[in-house]
Structure 1
Amino acid sequence: MHQKRTYISCISSNIYLHVINFPNERGLACDFNHRAIELPVNCGIGLPNFANFNLDTEIGSNCDSLTATNNFSTSNKFIIYPNPSEGHLKIENTKLNNANYYEIQIYDISGKLIERIKCLHIKINGIMI
């Protein structure tokens, strides 16, 4: 499969572009060439100084930036504050019914359950955690 080159400019005004000849290869095999292309004029504005990598998902990679979310109903909205919190949150919901039992589950950004709170006799206008 044909690989396209990646061109990178320097962080300040200069007349050079760096080239990665084989961007899909790892380490030295990528064939990075420092100051590979000399530009006809000094170019300081208009070129990014970073490579734009179109990375796909790599299963098991810690660097995967793709996320997934579940679709939740928006008919029962909560107000949670302050954000960020130093440990105490206020959760408000004006549509809570008069049930005697609620369970609150708190997940981190990666979807890991970090807290499960079982609540009895919650006030209708909100709760303090």
Structure 2
Amino acid sequence: MSVPRSKLVRNFPGCPVEATLSLLDGKWKGVILFHLLGGTLRFNEIRRKLPSVTQRMLTKQLRELEESGLVSRTVFPVVPPRVDYALTPLGASLGPIIKAMAVWGEENVFCHDGRQQLATAGASCAPGAALQAN
């Protein structure tokens, strides 16, 4: 599980990059945050956006993001239960970083035909249209 934010300063003294990356550590956390940049989502809406994640793993990643203070979870007292996930102000502050990572990935990793490859130095194989998914 992720380390609570209150303990990060002690765990990574003088290394804000490592502290920030520890909050995003996890296969699905960055992608979850990316989708939540578009607004509040229910659990199953997030799961549909990430078809290869298991329910157990998605639950774990969301709990860790919640513990880190990046995501809020709101349970509504209705039947069937309704649970909404949204970015907290702290999570929303990662928006420019997440968006920049999406642009970089599109420009340097994905090609027009969907193949995944790293672009050679100075040669981009994608047009930089990232962020249109939200």
Bin for the TM-score computed over the shorter chain: under 0.3
The TM-score with structure 1 as length reference comes to 0.22
Q: Which has the larger radius of gyration?
A: 1
Q: Which of 1 and 2 has higher RCO (CA within 8 Å, sep 6+)?
A: 2
Normalized per residue, the structure richer in helix is 2
Normalized per residue, the structure richer in strand is 1
